Amino acid sequence: MTFVWAFVVGGLLCVIAQLVLDLSSLSPAHVLVLFVVIGAILGGVGLYRPLVAFAGAGATVPLPGFGYTLVEGIATAVKTKGLLGLFTGGLTAAAGGIKASVIFGLTVALIFKPKA
Amino acid sequence: MHQEDSDQAKAYQQLVKSNQPKKPIVKNVLLAFLYGGMISLVGQGIQVAFIVGGMSKEDATSPTTVVLIGLGALLTGLGWYDQLTKHGGMGATLPITGFANAMVAPAMEFRREGLVMGVGVKLFTVAGPVLVYGLSAAFVVGVVRYLVTGVA
């Protein structure tokens, strides 16, 4: 059943983003920034965690999931490290994704030539 | 005279507006739903594969993101991801694969400007602002939660 909800929730998050893009004068980059911030806020008030439990990758694959990951990482780190966790928790939780995007991004950019 | 000018300007603005192509919002929204849903579904499949491999649900999220970013970067290199963003709009841009695309595409394009000012800088054209404001928002949220609840 999670597969169905992953599709539906992932799709709906993109629908909201598409509506913001089409009905405002924001660029796609602005929308991405906005949605990461929204994900962090929803994570902070405890609304995003149930969405992740409900829809799995439907909530973690779209970019608000990145904001949520940062906030969850801080929460975990503050429990063990105290206030230092505010500085270490976000990047610790997101380390896999950030490092992957640099390594894969650099590799692909060096190997492939842009099409026309 | 001035009044006349601004009236003309207004009329011109309206003329420009009426001749702009209308955004096909309904079509865009449907395609965003399909593309975003499909990419999330692929992500769910990868996550389940990691869970079947013995990981907990929470532990499986990070390697799933790594695989999706790899796929997004590779498809961008092959020139295929541009087709996805062209048709799927935010359906292909909002998922983490689209984040990878937003890093790789400008880095490839500006390769000729050098490894540092071309590739190195352009990899963070979109990732830079996303990280700056994502990390800052999460920090503020963490501080507020700490002040309110005593734990973040």
Chain A partners of B105 at a C-beta cutoff of 8 Å? 114
Average pLDDT over residues A59-69: 98
Task: Report whether B134 contacts A40 (CB < 8 A).
Answer: yes
Average pLDDT over residues B67-84: 97
Contact A29 B44 (CB under 8 A): no
Is some CB atom of chain B closer than 8 A to the CB atom of A106?
yes
pLDDT digits (tens, 9 = 90+) for B91-114: 999 999 999 999 999 999 999 999
Q: Would A13 be classed as within a structural domain? A: yes
Q: Does position A41 have pLDDT exceeding 90, yes or no?
A: yes
Average pLDDT over residues A20-29: 96
Cβ-based neighbour number of residue B58 at 10 Å? 9
Average pLDDT over residues B22-36: 94
Q: Would A104 be classed as within a structural domain? A: yes
> A1 or A74: which carries more pLDDT confidence?
A74
> B15 or B33: which carries more pLDDT confidence?
B33
Q: Which domain holds residue A36?
A: 2-111
Q: From the list B28, B32, B141, which residue is nearest A71 (CB)? A: B141
Average confidence score pLDDT of chain B: 93
Test mutation, A8, A23, A32, chain B, max B CBs within 10 A: A32
Is some CB atom of chain B closer than 8 A to the CB atom of A13?
yes
For A71, B94, B133, B140, the CA distances from A87, given in Å and listed in that order, are 11, 26, 14, 11
Q: Does position A93 have pLDDT exceeding 70, yes or no?
A: yes
Q: Does position B11 have pLDDT exceeding 90, yes or no?
A: no
What pLDDT, on the 0 to 100 scale, is given for residue B2?
63
Instruction: Render B51-79 in DSSP notation, one character per residue.
Output: HHTT--HHHHHHHHHHHHHHHHHHHHHTT
CA atoms within 13 A on the CB side of B141: 28
Average pLDDT over residues A94-113: 96
Q: How far is Cα B48 from Cα B23, in angstroms, rounded to an integer?
A: 38
For A7, A22, B70, B112, the CA distances from B33, given in Å and listed in that order, are 8, 14, 23, 36
Q: Would A79 be classed as within a structural domain? A: yes
Residue B88 buriedness (CB in 10 A; 0-12 / 13-18 / 19+) = buried
Chain A partners of B40 at a C-beta cutoff of 8 Å? 6-7, 9-11, 55, 57-58, 61-62
Q: How far is Cα A51 from Cα B72, in angstroms, rounded to an integer?
A: 24
Q: Write down the pTM of the prediction.
A: 0.90
Confidence of residue A39 (pLDDT cuts 50, 70, 90): very high
What pLDDT, on the 0 to 100 scale, is given for residue A50?
98
Q: Would A116 be classed as within a structural domain? A: no
Query: DSSP letter at B113?
Result: G
Task: Report whether A106 contacts B77 (CB < 8 A).
Answer: no
Q: How many domains does chain A have?
A: 1
Q: How far is Cα B123 from Cα A71, in angstroms, rounded to an integer?
A: 24
Confidence of residue A6 (pLDDT cuts 50, 70, 90): very high
Q: Would A89 be classed as within a structural domain? A: yes
Chain A partners of B34 at a C-beta cutoff of 8 Å? 11
A 62-81 near B (Cβ less than 8 A): 62-63, 65-67, 69-71, 73-75, 77-79
